[in-house]
Amino acid sequence: MGVGACGLALAPRVGRLDKSALAFEWENLTMNKTLPPPSLEHLCDLAVTIAAPIEVGHTPAGLRRMIPITGGTVTGPQLNGRVLPGGADFQLILSQGTQAHLDARYVLELDDGTRLRESLAICRYLETMQPEPALLGRDPRERAEIESIVLQLMFRVYVPTTHAFRHTHKFWAGRIPQVPEYGVLAQQTVLAEWQRLDRELASREFLAGDRFSFADIVGYTTLEFGKPSGIRLQEGQDHLRRWHAAIAARPSAKA
């Protein structure tokens, strides 16, 4: 068992979490702008205990593995509690071995016993504490539009992506009852949804409009998660490819 330092969501893996990192990035961060250094305010420190890594297997993109989270503490001036056992850090070690994509999933229990265990709930909590940039929306109309896109992504893209993975990937063979025909159908359903989103991105820069939002985070991570199941950018999806490249270039996506 080891002890590691970590961040939340797409924030960098550092021992000290800052409000600006938890908010992912400044709203106006783009490839074409030079920004002043961010103003940071210490939020909390996480000390996370982990178990030995479990190798899932090699894929064309690299080695996939999972590191179980066995517990930990949250201490700081604005957030205190503990990390409950049961989470995991899902990793993709790229083929060249010099980079990795990390997806750490935690359940936090605050000092008053409140448990934050769903990504959207945690993000709402953090955005209430740190309102800028408003990744969940600046006003009632924008918040409704962003949440509408997020729900579409979750039910029409993310859920069938998980079904395609569970029913077609060899990792699950013998672990669960697999129905390969259903997995292929789920894969085709997801590919059709990404084709629809490619058309919608022809008229807007990001999934929920002209601003980077939580919808783009959900969309980007879902598309990346689909790769082991053959769910990738398709030929001719120029708008989706432009959007994907813009999100991938952001510092938070590289963390």
Looking at the fold, whether 155 and 242 belong to one and the same domain comes out as yes
pLDDT number for residue 125:
82
Residues 122 and 10 in one domain: yes
135 belongs to a structural domain: no
Together in a domain, 62 and 158: no
Supply angle C-alpha 125, 86, 110, rounded to 5.
Answer: 35
Which of 83, 109, 129 is the last residue in one of the domains? 129
Residue 19 banded pLDDT, cuts 50, 70, 90: very low
- Asked if 189 and 160 count as a contact pair (C-beta separation under 8 A), the reply is yes
- Domain end marker among 102, 129, 156: 129
CA 71 to CA 87: how far, in whole Å?
A: 8
Specify whether 34 is located in the same domain as 146.
no
Instruction: Annotate 59-117 with three-state secondary structure.
Output: ECCEEEEEEEEEEEEEECCCCCEEECCCCEEEEEEECCCCCEEEEEECCEEECCCCEEC
Number of domains forming the structure of the chain: 2
Give me the domain span that covers residue 86: 2-129
Shared domain for 7 and 108, answered yes or no, is: yes
Q: 116 with 161, same domain? A: no
Residue 218 · residue 226 · CB < 8 Å: no
Cα gap 170→17, rounded to integer Å: 37
pLDDT digits (tens, 9 = 90+) for 129-158: 778 888 999 999 999 999 999 999 999 999
- For residue 183, is it within any domain? yes
Query: What tens digit of pLDDT does each residue of 46-83 get?
Result: 888 988 888 888 777 778 888 888 999 988 887 788 98
The residues, any chain, with a CB within 8 Å of residue 224's CB and separated by 6 or more, are 101
CATH number of the CATH domain containing 225? 1.20.1050.10
pLDDT for position 255: 62
Look at residues 107, 129, 151 and tell me which one is the last residue of a structural domain. 129
- Give the model confidence (pLDDT) of 196-245 as tens digits: 999 999 999 999 999 999 999 999 999 999 998 999 999 999 999 999 99
Residue 186 CB burial class (10 angstroms; 0-12, 13-18, ≥19): buried
Does the residue 134 lie in any domain?
Answer: no
Same domain, 210 and 178: yes
86's CB contacts (< 8 A; 6+ apart) are 69, 107
